[in-house]
A and B are shown apart, each in its own frame.
Chain A
């Protein structure tokens, strides 16, 4: 499997996700500068977390128009799997590859903590190593993680089973108390129609090694390697 991690000015999880990918792939992903015109041939494109362009204007808004994004969008539309984590998820909504938008967290705070997520489906390239409805622990670290979309869009996401992860309690219930940031329908992650694009606010790469205190994020990378090898 070949993977490309796009590096933007202000990305800060690009190396972390590269370490996680390397651990499961056995080789390093290609680090691709955002100013390049083309992503080298890859089985997976990762838009990493961070604060691209200092979150100016709106989180992910400037990065969505970086030179490399034309090719990322083209490849995403042709079916190349794309994983957007945190700021990467914000870029995916800003490009329109995923619907909706991320608002400021409801409590106005930067939230950096472990949260529990329910895996909504395990029949995608990203989640086959999880169980359906499995409760996993993954950290969030963001200021703008409050997912918003209009009611029609939310209904379409529910009807087509495109919600990837929901914030939940220890028993897997997506309660109000378990929702850290006010996200609509407790949405923590989303797929596109074909489930080839995943955007999620939590950081699986931050709990993908025993030395980091947990490995619940590892299965996501293992799923990708297993499917895309």
Chain B
């Protein structure tokens, strides 16, 4: 039986890139009484279902997708987790 894969792609802002949205969330959490937060950074999470069983092929394909479209490499990093489904 064919197996598929699910990719979990996390896109985060690079160090040093200002994140005004993260700052606003930080402030909102503070005003709700959540103390002790050093920093909040907001990113994106994308799930991709793939018709691929080979993990290294799947990873290579997702990497290409990240570099070409999903992330802007000027300001963002990406991390990929693969899962057999």
Contacts and interface: CB of A to CB of B under 8 A. Distances in A.
Interface of A: 57-58, 61-62, 65, 93-94, 99-101, 103-108, 146, 148-150, 182
Contacts of B48: none
Contacts of A107: 20
Contacts of B74: 93, 99-101, 148-150
A104 B75 contact: no
B17 interface: yes
A187 B68 CA distance: 26
A146 B13 CA distance: 15
Interface in B40-85: 68-70, 72, 74-75
Of all A-B residue pairs in the complex, the 8 with the closest CB atoms, nearest first, are A101-B74, A108-B20, A101-B75, A106-B20, A101-B72, A104-B20, A108-B24, A58-B72
B68 to A, nearest CB: 8
Given A62-B69, A93-B74, A103-B17, 6 more contacts: A104-B21, A108-B21, A146-B20, A148-B18, A148-B75, A182-B20
Q: Is the interface of A mostly helix, strand, loop or mixed?
A: loop
A182 B20 CA distance: 10
Q: Is the interface of B mostly helix, strand, loop or mixed?
A: helix
Contacts of B75: 101, 103, 148
A101 B71 CA distance: 12
Contacts of A103: 17-18, 20, 75
A57 B18 contact: no
The listed residue with most B CB atoms (<10 A of its CB), out of A99, A105, A148, is: A148
A100 B73 CA distance: 10
A94 B72 contact: yes
A156 B77 CA distance: 24
A13 to B, nearest CB: 23
Interface residues of B, number: 11
Interface string B17-50: 1101100100000000000000000000000000
A106 B69 contact: no
A61 B69 contact: yes
A153 to B, nearest CB: 9
A57 B72 CA distance: 10
Contact of A65 (B18, B21, B24, B69): B69
The listed residue with most B CB atoms (<10 A of its CB), out of A99, A104, A146, is: A104
A94 B72 CA distance: 8
Nearest to B74: A101
A100 B74 CA distance: 7
A65 B20 CA distance: 27
